[in-house]
């Protein structure tokens, strides 16, 4: 059988199976049916998923407006100081750090835990073609996420620099923003999967090394961006030159410098040279790492393909779940332990959960090392009890936001995948199963709350009484926020996925749950702020916050039990 005659690989350009494979992968991932599955909408009309995506985008308009305002303020200040190139560097650093955060688990999932991998390996396709097609899909996904972090800075900078070819160059800079992070992450993932393929505790090693890789990236970024290491004399002298600080900000990572030259250099020749270097090195790094990695790609596949083909979430998961139900006397505890096993059995899920927990402490740690000691006297001035009270309320609200975005509650059902068919038949009422899920989400949220409390103590020097208030408010806020995520996942579960990435980071419903959580916290914050404006004392503010969280949590919990009883019978796997 020829390649051209294979179903799914036929395309207008015959004899080009790679282009056909890329087209098929993109259609599966971003076509109407693929988007519908990601959103948990099931079978819908052709254009319905795209309309749903438009409504989601509208929900993010307030966030985009805030980002544009922030970008405009920073850009205006830097342009007036004669350092417009720093705006480009800030945009690229922010976008590439976000890509690093997403790409590790995304590449691992797409390349090694995808259910279609065994089928693709059985076709007359080379490992290079299979891996490259999946990288294209990952690249496009990361480019969409980078759109939110990079483009606001580039858009507000354009009218301020008065460069004729700016918009063409800015588009090229943005299009290649994910190239280097994906290239480095690709090499790290392929080497990691190959080295640990025969290890007994390979899943644990992969998660730990994935975390270590992310820590190293943050450490490099800190060392690269720490201007203090050059001394005040160098910084002041370069501040007087146009784009003088670009050289310092680029540090050991010249791609940042080249991107700044491409958009803000004074002469057309310098801008063209910067663009050439930026595009050439970025695209070349991705091609080179793909070429090197494809030689080791199959060495890391091993049993991962067989496990995916045999539906890891199925037979083996059912046996372990039944064992837990048989050994544990409390069904609620059994559900909690099963949810924990579902989370940790796949490195992609566990790595995502741990990254969500560690990213804030790591950023805080590097920020403190890079200048926190100098800011401590300033932060120590926050000793007015009224200020500390307001700060405590804000920290508790921020912790609730992080809980709403940590993807534990909002994917509690989706992570089960095909294993959910077992949840429909085991002799445990749906309400009791959801109680176990809520308890597990709260355990995770309490760990996140502990991190928030430690951060408040280290960064702001909050006293013991207010630390207890922050802990209590944060834990209480996590309750209704987790319920909101569970309810949303019950209504739109993502149970059919070709790779684990789609259950968590690739699940659009987590963004919807996050928006609902933000809306809830904004409403609570608006009530507290209104009372504060009308002169309500601190005790009244705290009592109101505790009261709102308790009452709303109780009402939402009752709705959750009713929803579970209804939805468990309606959901089909």
| DSSP calls for 419-440 | GHHHHHHSSS-HHHHHHHHHHH
Interatomic CA distance for residues 172 and 281, integer angstroms:
13
Give me the pLDDT at residue 306, please: 41
Q: 3-state class of 1 per DSSP?
A: coil
Q: Residue 280's CB: how many other CB atoms inside 10 A?
A: 12
Say if CB 279 and CB 176 are below 8 A apart.
yes
Query: For the purposes of burial, counting CB atoms within 10 Å of the CB of 82, is it exposed (0-12), middle (13-18) or buried (19 or more)?
Result: middle
Helices (H) and strands (E) in the chain, counts: 25, 0
Q: Which residue has the tokens 């308790």?
A: 550
Q: 3-state class of 266 per DSSP?
A: coil
Q: In degrees rounded to 5, what are phi and psi of residue 381?
A: -70, -10
Say if CB 426 and CB 471 are below 8 A apart.
no
DSSP letter for 329, please. S
CA 39 to chain centre: 17
Give me the pLDDT at residue 333, please: 84
- Name the token pair of 170: 């800015």
Give me the pLDDT at residue 283, please: 93
Interatomic CA distance for residues 475 and 463, integer angstroms:
18
Interatomic CA distance for residues 420 and 321, integer angstroms:
11
> Helices 331-344 and 315-327 meet at what angle, rounded to 10?
150
Sign of the alpha-carbon dihedral angle for 85, 89, 94, 99: positive
Among 55, 89, 290, which residue's Cα sits nearest to residue 173? 89
Say if CB 391 and CB 382 are below 8 A apart.
yes
- Name the token pair of 516: 């609902």
Say if CB 308 and CB 118 are below 8 A apart.
yes
- CA-to-CA separations, 208 to 215, 318, 350, in angstroms, rounded: 11, 27, 10
Q: Residue 277's CB: how many other CB atoms inside 10 A?
A: 17
Say if CB 321 and CB 422 are below 8 A apart.
yes
- Name the token pair of 501: 């990435």
- Output 314-323 pairs: Cβ under 8 A, ≥24 positions apart: 314/418, 314/419, 317/341, 317/342, 317/345, 317/419, 317/422, 318/419, 318/422, 321/419, 321/422, 321/426, 322/422, 322/426
Give me the pLDDT at residue 25, please: 80
Query: Terminal CA-to-CA distance of the chain, rounded, Å?
Result: 35
Interatomic CA distance for residues 481 and 494, integer angstroms:
20
- Name the token pair of 334: 């059994």
DSSP letter for 493, please. -
pLDDT in single tens digits along all 573 residues of the chain: 444 444 444 444 444 777 888 888 887 777 766 666 666 565 555 666 777 777 767 767 777 788 888 888 888 888 887 888 888 888 888 888 888 878 887 888 788 777 777 777 777 777 788 888 888 888 988 888 888 888 889 999 988 888 888 999 999 999 999 999 999 988 888 888 887 777 676 666 777 777 777 777 777 766 666 555 555 455 545 555 566 567 766 667 888 889 888 898 888 898 899 999 999 999 999 999 888 888 777 765 654 444 443 444 444 545 555 555 545 557 888 888 888 888 877 777 777 777 777 766 666 555 555 444 444 554 555 556 677 888 888 888 888 888 888 888 888 888 887 778 888 878 888 888 899 999 999 998 898 888 888 877 877 777 788 889 889 999 999 999 999 999 988 888 887 776 666 677 667 778 788 888 888 988 998 898 898 888 888 888 889 999 999 999 999 999 999 888 888 888 776
Give me the pLDDT at residue 319, please: 53
CA 515 to chain centre: 15
Q: 3-state class of 61 per DSSP?
A: helix
């Amino acid at each position: 059988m020829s390649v051209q005659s294979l179903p799914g690989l036929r395309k207008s350009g015959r004899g080009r199976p790679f282009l056909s494979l890329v087209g098929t992968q993109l259609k599966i991932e971003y076509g109407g049916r693929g988007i519908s599955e990601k959103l948990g909408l099931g079978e819908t009309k052709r254009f319905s998923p795209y309309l749903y995506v438009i409504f989601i985008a509208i929900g993010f308009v307030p966030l985009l407006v805030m980002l544009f305002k922030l970008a405009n303020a920073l850009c205006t200040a830097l342009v007036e100081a004669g350092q417009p190139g720093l705006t480009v560097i800030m945009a690229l650093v922010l976008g590439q750090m976000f890509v690093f955060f997403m790409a590790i688990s995304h590449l691992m999932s797409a390349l090694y835990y995808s259910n279609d991998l065994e089928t693709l390996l059985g076709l007359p396709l080379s490992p290079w073609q299979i891996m490259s097609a999946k990288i294209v899909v990952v690249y496009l996904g990361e480019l969409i996420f980078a759109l939110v972090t990079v483009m606001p800075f580039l858009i507000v900078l354009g009218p301020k620099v008065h460069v004729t070819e700016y918009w063409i160059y800015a588009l090229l800079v943005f299009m290649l923003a994910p190239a280097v992070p994906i290239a480095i992450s690709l090499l790290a993932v392929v080497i990691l999967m190959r080295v640990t393929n025969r290890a007994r505790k390979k899943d644990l090693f992969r998660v730990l090394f994935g975390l270590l890789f992310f820590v190293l990236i943050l450490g490099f970024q800190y060392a690269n961006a720490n201007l203090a290491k050059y001394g005040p004399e160098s910084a002041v002298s370069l501040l007087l030159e146009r784009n003088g600080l670009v050289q310092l900000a680029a540090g050991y990572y010249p791609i940042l410098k080249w991107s700044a030259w491409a958009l803000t250099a004074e002469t057309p020749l310098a801008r063209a040279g910067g663009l050439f270097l930026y595009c050439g090195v970025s695209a070349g790094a991705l091609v080179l790492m793909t070429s090197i990695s494809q030689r080791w790609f199959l060495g890391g596949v091993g049993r991962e393909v067989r496990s995916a083909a045999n539906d890891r979430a199925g037979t083996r998961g059912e046996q372990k779940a039944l064992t837990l139900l048989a050994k544990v006397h409390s069904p609620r505890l059994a559900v909690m332990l099963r949810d924990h096993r579902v989370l940790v059995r796949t490195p992609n899920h566990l790595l995502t959960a741990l990254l969500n927990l560690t990213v804030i402490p790591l950023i805080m740690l590097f920020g403190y090392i890079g200048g926190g000691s100098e800011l401590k006297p300033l932060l120590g001035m926050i000793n007015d009890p009224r200020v500390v009270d307001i700060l405590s309320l804000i920290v508790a609200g921020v912790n609730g936001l992080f809980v709403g975005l940590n993807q534990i509650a909002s994917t509690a059902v989706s992570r089960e995948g095909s294993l959910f068919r077992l949840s429909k038949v085991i002799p445990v009422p749906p309400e009791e199963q959801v109680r176990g899920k809520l308890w597990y989400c709260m355990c995770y949220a309490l760990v996140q709350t502990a991190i928030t409390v430690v951060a408040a103590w280290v960064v702001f020097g909050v006293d013991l009484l207010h630390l207890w208030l922050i802990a209590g408010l944060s834990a209480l806020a996590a309750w209704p926020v987790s319920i909101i995520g569970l309810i949303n996942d019950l209504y739109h579960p993502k149970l059919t996925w070709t790779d684990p990435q789609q259950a968590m980071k690739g699940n659009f419903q987590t963004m919807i749950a996050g928006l609902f959580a933000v809306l809830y916290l904004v409403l609570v914050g608006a009530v507290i702020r209104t009372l504060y404006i009308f002169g309500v004392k601190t005790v009244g503010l705290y009592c109101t916050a505790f009261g709102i969280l308790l009452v709303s949590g109780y009402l939402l919990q009752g709705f959750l039990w009713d929803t579970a009883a209804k939805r468990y019978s309606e959901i089909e796997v």
